[in-house]
Chains A and B, each alone.
Chain A
Amino acid sequence: MNTNLIWLVAMPLIGSAVTAVVVRYKFLDRLITFLTFATTLFVLFLAHVGQSYSWTLKFLGTTLNLTLNVSHLSIFMLYISIAFGTVLAFYSLIDNSRMKGFLLLLVLAANNWIFMSNDMIGFFFAWELMGWASVVSVLGGREKEKSRHAALYYAMMSVAGSYSMLFGIFILWRLTGTFSISANIAYLSSIIGGHPWWVLGIVSLFFMTFMIKSGIFPFHTWVPLAYAYSPDAFTPFLSAAMSKYGVYGMLLFLPLGLLEKGFPTAFGVPWTNYIFLWFGVITAVVGTVLSIFQDDVKKLFAYSSLSNLGYVVAAIALFTPVGITAGIYHAFNHLLFEGALFITLLAVISRSGTSKLSEMGGLWKKMPITFFTFFVGIASAAGIPPFNGFGSKWLVYQAMIKQHLIFATILLFLASTGAFMYLFKAFHSIFLGQLSHDYERVKEVPIVGQIVEAFLMIAMIFFGVQPGYILKPIGAIVKSMGLKPLPVMANGYVAGMFSNVYMPLIGWSLVVSFIFGFILFYVSAEHKNVSQTDNYTAGQIPEDWGLTPETYQFSWNFYQPVEKLFVPFFRIKIDGFFRGIGDWTKATGSAIKEIFVGNAQMYAFFAIVGLIIFVIAGWMA
């Protein structure tokens, strides 16, 4: 009985109640939010693997045990999500978007509960709590009408997911009579030999929920909307932390021991996992391709986030040691760089007032710290060493190559190269190129924001060069799942199947060669700085054709030629499918509504007809 665990849930709830009272005073609201996050982080320091706490609930006719349990996976997830949340909450002190602190804290409480819960009632409770709190959070975006639509769309997906999970929970309960997650998974694992289809059916009920929450194809359609139109300060948490709930759920259900039960395999993985892997790969590709053509920067990075989760899912679906390591490691890296990117976007949008790429440009001089954080962020996202995205991407590829998955590997490579394209597009359109006259007076974010950005930048470099600090806990997780963990080496190594990358070596070789580069640059003849508009214009005088920085900035239709390549794929509209279901339901509703004609005789007639039908049914029985 470790009562400290209950505080991980209770603390945010109390904080939430307090902030709900002071919601009108924005700074106070944000301050309490931040303090609650910090306190929760402190409480988390007291939690250790193996601790558990349970209390009873008189419900469903029996006395139920609700259990909080700290496993290796949960403590890892808790640390990364709460730490990131604290950083974000610190930033939000200077933020003026319409994010509400008490909703963020409700999400935090749910977050902690989801990661610790070892009973499905608590899990579902927290899951639903997180669902509605985040839906209401999304409502506060900059563009009111659009965020309303986004919230509604998100809510529908999320509710459909929850009900699917609810169904699964009770089916398991019917079979085992317990709500304990670990007991149920052990049960599923024990019957999978005899009733594989039953188990798959039940597990897919859960996986549908998790896929919706993580935005995995074909349930990715809500992600760009919800990310783009949620309050700018909430999006980082949505993308960085909340997308991990699905991954966490999947990791809970993956260790079913399919291989040991002699399940048919494809490429050395059980065929179910093989199919699931393809959902991840398709997500990675779809996210990347769609991201390339976005003009709204938050939408662009929403698709980017999606695409990275595709990597995570593809990797964990393998359920090999290197696959799981790669997946969790990439989940962490995704949290770090996507969080940092969304925080820099928050900074940029708060200063420029727009999220349209085609309206920005040349901001690097005005916001240098933001610029460098963003630079490191995209370098990480593109998987460039020695920043933090490299190791995990490389491990993902190794996991794929190890299983001889040709097409998956090639498509993931495609996604990775495409990632480079959209990342550079965002980079160029926001920070490089011509500075518009409108942004002459733009300033860097306040000092609090700069501290946060610098901190995240350092974190991305640190975890890039010293991946061991993350890989060791992941090794423990892999071990706790009953797999053989990858070899543990010094902190600098990313150890994979057939390759160990020593990150500091790359770091040092870069440092040395940069020194040479600078020396060469400064011993060469000197240069003078000229204004940005002082440009080669093929012999024309710029004033003659009314050149302004806005017209001389290339950011509209950036990858227009590439669009032609993907035209056949754009005809597939997943979004249209869901909207079609919605329209169909609505049409059915309008038809059914006609039953209630508003005429007393008809109602009487219905009653009598109903009675007659029953009487006939009784006669027949």
Chain B
Amino acid sequence: MIVLLKLIQGIGAGALSISIGLLFVGIGRKITARIHRRYGPPFVQNFIDLFKLLSKKSISHGFTFDLGLIAGFSALLAAVVFLPMGQINIFPHNSSLIMILYLMTMAYLGMAMGVSSSGNPNATVGIARALTLTMGYEVPFAAVIFSVYLFAHTGSLTNIVAAQSGGFMNWNLVKLPFGFVAAEIALQGMLGEAPFDMAIAPAEIASGPMVEMGGKYLGFGMLQHSIGLFLETGIMVDLFLGGGSNVWIFVIKQFELYFLALLVNAIFPRFKIEDGVSFMWKVPLLLGIVQALIVVL
């Protein structure tokens, strides 16, 4: 019985994350357009795109191509159930953060496997860049997680959220300001927004990983991007913005973070990949270490 309940809850969480993610991307397109003084597509455009893509015939480059894309999508979906979203907390597991992070790694691996097996070097170049950038932002993010763990004495997102209850002043944003800034910059890299969008740089490597995708494959790619967006902002909200008393406040907080990322994205040019990594290892890492030292000492 409990299994069935959790199953249904999980499906609900997955659906929620997909729709919120798609919605965010839609709104994001609109906002970026307005910054660029364009009108922009309607904010439900992404839902329309998704259905269109899933219903189109497409070409495949073999079984690993299919499997990789499905894995990229499914592993993220599996991660969503461990994320406390306001009052929704399906598995209040005491190591949810690390499980989410590593399941996201699995999604990257699946995605990378899929697009590499297409045999298009542009896609592989994109993946190589994405992995290089991962090495850049994971290091400051590790410093941040280190501080949060030590500060909260727990590895459970639920407990971290609970520790921040009781008003703005209890948020880790206030308690761990340097860590927040570092994580915010790392988040920009995770989301792949400018100035860290070298992996999909359309003008250089023909959209990188997406170069061989069409129809439902591109649809799966979109889904993966949406859930990834939801998860990454969600982790940040739980870590620094005190979670949410209910799911809608949670989503609004997520949107604030996404909005910030969009603004940066709209006005910044792109780093070269090695410069991006060395930037990550300078500014945010330094902030993260400062934060960690403050917590430890």
User: CB of B59 within 8 A of chain A?
Assistant: yes
A509-B81, A513-B74, A530-B59 as given contacts; A417 in contact with B138, CB under 8 Å: yes
Q: Is the CB–CB distance between B128 and A559 below 8 Å?
A: yes
Q: Which residues of A contact B273 (CB under 8 A)?
A: 561
Q: Is the CB–CB distance between B132 and A552 below 8 Å?
A: no
Q: Is the CB–CB distance between B121 and A421 below 8 Å?
A: no
User: CB of B89 within 8 A of chain A?
Assistant: no
User: CB of A160 within 8 A of chain B?
Assistant: no
Residues of A within 8 A of B (CB): 362, 364-365, 371, 375, 378-379, 382-385, 390, 394, 397-398, 401, 404, 406-407, 409-410, 413-414, 416-418, 420-421, 424-425, 427-428, 431-434, 496, 498-502, 505-506, 509-510, 512-514, 516-518, 520-521, 524-530, 532-536, 538, 549, 552-554, 558-559, 561-562, 564-565
Out of B54, B93, B127, name the residue touching A505 (CB < 8 Å): B93
Stretch with Cβ within 8 A of A (4 or more), from B35-43, B215-223, B239-247: B215-223
Q: Which residues of A contact B293 (CB under 8 A)?
A: 406
Supply 8 A–B pairs (Cβ within 8 Å), ascending by A.
A385-B106, A410-B146, A421-B132, A434-B119, A517-B77, A530-B60, A536-B206, A553-B119
Task: Give the distance to chain B from A367, nearest Cβ to Cβ, in Å.
Answer: 12
Task: Give the distance to chain A from B214, nearest Cβ to Cβ, in Å.
Answer: 9
A401-B149, A409-B146 as given contacts; A512 in contact with B78, CB under 8 Å: yes
A401-B146, A521-B220 as given contacts; A384 in contact with B102, CB under 8 Å: yes
Q: Is the CB–CB distance between B94 and A498 below 8 Å?
A: yes
Q: Which residues of B contact A558 (CB under 8 A)?
A: 128
Q: Is the CB–CB distance between A424 and B131 below 8 Å?
A: yes
Q: Is the CB–CB distance between A527 and B102 below 8 Å?
A: no
Q: Is the CB–CB distance between A552 and B121 below 8 Å?
A: yes
Q: Which residues of A contact B154 (CB under 8 A)?
A: 498
A509-B10, A533-B119 as given contacts; A417 in contact with B59, CB under 8 Å: no
Q: Which residues of B contact A421 (CB under 8 A)?
A: 131-132, 134-135
> In the complex, which of the residues A379, A397, A499 has the most CB atoms of chain B within 10 Å of its own CB atom?
A499
A406-B146, A498-B154, A514-B74 as given contacts; A527 in contact with B135, CB under 8 Å: no
Q: Is the CB–CB distance between B119 and A513 below 8 Å?
A: no
Q: Is the CB–CB distance between A404 and B296 below 8 Å?
A: yes
Interface of B is mostly: helix
Q: Is the CB–CB distance between A498 and B109 below 8 Å?
A: no
Q: When chains A and B are docked, how far (Å) is the Cα of A21 from the Cα of B255? A: 75
Q: When chains A and B are docked, how far (Å) is the Cα of A559 from the Cα of B277? A: 13
Q: When chains A and B are docked, how far (Å) is the Cα of A379 from the Cα of B75? A: 13
Residues of B within 8 A of A (CB): 7, 10-11, 14, 54-62, 64, 66, 69-71, 73-75, 77-78, 81-82, 91, 93-95, 98-99, 102-103, 105-106, 108-109, 112-113, 116-122, 124-125, 127-129, 131-132, 134-135, 138-139, 142-143, 146, 149-150, 153-156, 206, 211-212, 215-217, 219-220, 272-274, 277-278, 281, 285, 288-289, 292-293, 296
Q: When chains A and B are docked, how far (Å) is the Cα of A394 from the Cα of B120? A: 35
Out of A383, A501, A509, name the residue touching B95 (CB < 8 Å): A501
Q: Is the CB–CB distance between A525 and B113 below 8 Å?
A: no
Task: Give the distance to chain B from A95, nearest Cβ to Cβ, in Å.
Answer: 27
Name the residue of chain A whose CB is nearest to the CB of B138.
Answer: A417
Out of A365, A510, A553, name the residue touching B121 (CB < 8 Å): A553
Q: Is the CB–CB distance between B278 and A565 below 8 Å?
A: yes
Q: Is the CB–CB distance between A498 and B62 below 8 Å?
A: no
A418-B135, A513-B75 as given contacts; A432 in contact with B116, CB under 8 Å: yes
Out of A512, A530, A538, A559, name the residue touching B132 (CB < 8 Å): A559
Q: Is the CB–CB distance between B120 and A536 below 8 Å?
A: yes
Q: Is the CB–CB distance between B128 and A525 below 8 Å?
A: no
Q: When chains A and B are docked, how far (Å) is the Cα of A117 from the Cα of B92? A: 47
A527-B57, A565-B277 as given contacts; A499 in contact with B116, CB under 8 Å: no
Name the residue of chain A whose CB is nearest to the CB of B293.
Answer: A406
Q: When chains A and B are docked, how far (Å) is the Cα of A434 from the Cα of B118? A: 8
Q: Which residues of A contact B150 (CB under 8 A)?
A: 401, 404
Q: Is the CB–CB distance between A529 and B121 below 8 Å?
A: no
Out of B57, B75, B121, B129, name the residue touching A528 (CB < 8 Å): B57
Q: When chains A and B are docked, how far (Å) is the Cα of A397 from the Cα of B156? A: 15
Name the residue of chain A whose CB is nearest to the CB of B94.
Answer: A499
Q: Which residues of B contact A500 (CB under 8 A)?
A: 94-95
Out of B109, B143, B274, name the residue touching A410 (CB < 8 Å): B143
Q: Is the CB–CB distance between B105 and A384 below 8 Å?
A: yes
Q: Which residues of B contact A413 (CB under 8 A)?
A: 138-139, 142
Q: Is the CB–CB distance between A498 and B153 below 8 Å?
A: yes
Q: Is the CB–CB distance between A532 and B206 below 8 Å?
A: no
Q: When chains A and B are docked, how far (Å) is the Cα of A499 from the Cα of B157? A: 11
Q: Is the CB–CB distance between B58 and A424 below 8 Å?
A: no
Q: Is the CB–CB distance between A516 and B77 below 8 Å?
A: yes
Q: When chains A and B are docked, how far (Å) is the Cα of A427 from the Cα of B109? A: 10
Name the residue of chain B whose CB is nearest to the CB of A554.
Answer: B121
